[in-house]
Structure 1
Amino acid sequence: MTQPPEGLEIVPLTPETWGLFDDLVVRHGGIFGGCWCIWFHPDSDERGQGAEANRALKKRYVERCAAHAALVVDGDEAVAWAEYGTPAELPNLHHRKQYDAEADLVPDYRVTCIFVDKRYRRRGLAETALLGAVDLIARAGGGIVEGYPHVPGDKKMSSSFLYNGTRAMYERCGFMFVRPKGLKNTVMRRTVAPAG
């Protein structure tokens, strides 16, 4: 198990911790224009119908145990998260057509979105959240985990485009490069052993 920085803890997103996640998203205007981190979930009539519809949909996914995330908590606030889930829970990916055409296997889990509270950025909490997700996956039995981070070019990228971290961060967390995906994304993979 990875230890978060002193004073912080990792908790799973559950109906009981929904309020922590909800407060974090509300503090940031719904994240990425009211997305509520539902873009990667299955298509539905509610998805994309505005921030409140997205919020209600995300809450229902959490209540049905069909949405997972590692929340990084400081006191009584979530300050970062890493969304993960099975491909059935998170079927949508950017550059999906290319991904499907080049896929050599179906992973057990995907990490699809990482977000850090603007007050806590540049402290390594994206990496803390990713490792928290890996630990929660290990507790659930482990398996093959994929992430789809970015490879920033010469120009500085807005954090809005780094919704899944960077290749270098994934490499520090034990993921191996598999192949490119789109112009500036990658497929990274790690086998996570069950927690013992």
Structure 2
Amino acid sequence: MSETSYDIKPLTPETWPAFDDLVIRHNGIFGGCYCIWFHPDSPERGQGREGNRALKKSYVERGEAHAALVLDGDEAIAWAEYGTPVELPTLHHRKQYDAEKDADPDWRITCVFVDKRYRRSGVTELAIRGALDLIAESGGGVVESYPHDLTDQTKKVSSSFLYNGTRRLYERLGFTYVRPKGLKNCVMTTTVPGR
């Protein structure tokens, strides 16, 4: 199917069922995380698949969880999670990140997931572009992401482990490399004008 047949929609209470179906089709994503890991720490977080599902749904209902959903018809086939640092404060290598940052961005893209049937077909890029478009509609600003930096890696990495895409992909999307974060990730940034 051609890319032009895909739609991008925000994660909202109306699109929740499509997001939920995508997660269910993939066994809860990484053992039932429901892409809740980057949200604020709370007693409800990490309480198993159903607990994470309920918590994510409550964030969506309150407008505190954002994602660009890539839809093939009515079926969600990918998402790119984004939000403000208040909405998504948890990062891998947080201590290093805080010690080396100049300022917080306006927005973060923290997780991208693609249905296994659609991987390696450009859908990751569509999801990230969708997130950038939705950020523009929300006023734009400085956007950070933390992709995997495979620049010097010779060993092939399974796409299922690349939860936020690669440095090369973000460079194609106009992001600038800022610094390493941990051993295999990096900080990249771009500025999105508001619309």
TM-score range (shorter-chain normalised) is over 0.9
State the match for 1:127 in structure 2. Answer: 125
Matched, 1:180 2:180: yes
Match of 1:56 in 2: 54
SS at 1:164 equivalent: coil
* Rounded Cα–Cα distance in structure 2 between residues aligned with 1:81 and 1:160: 14
Rounded to whole Å, the distance in 2 between the matches of 1:10 and 1:86 is 20
The residue type paired with residue 115 of structure 1 is F
Counterpart of 2:44 in structure 1 is: 46
Amino acid at match of 1:17: T
- What TM-score, normalized by structure 1, do the two folds share? 0.96
Distance between the aligned counterparts of 2:120 and 2:89, measured in 1?
30
What's the CA shift for 1:158? 2.5
Query: For the residues of structure 2 that align with 1:160 and 1:110, how far apart are their CA atoms?
Result: 21
Q: Quote the Cα distance in structure 2 between the aligned partners of 1:164 and 1:141.
A: 23
Cα contact 1:42–1:90 (8 A) shared by 2: yes
Alignment equivalent of 1:5, drawn from 3, 7, 14: 3
**Match of residue 22, structure 2, among 21, 24, 28:** 24
Q: How far 1:154 moved relative to its partner? A: 1.5
Shift of 1:159: 2.6
The alignment partner of 1:189 has SS state of: strand
Q: What is the deviation of 1:157?
A: 1.6
Question: Pairwise CA RMSD of aligned residues?
Answer: 1.0
Tell me which residue corresponds to 1:111.
109
8 Å contact 2:93–2:182 — kept in the other structure? Answer: yes
What does residue 159 of structure 1 align with? Answer: 159
Identity over aligned residues, as a percent?
A: 71
Letter matched to residue 106 of structure 1: D
Structure 2: 5+ residue stretches without partners: none
> 2:92 maps to what in 1?
94
- Count of aligned pairs: 192
Secondary structure of the residue that 2:112 maps to in structure 1?
Answer: strand
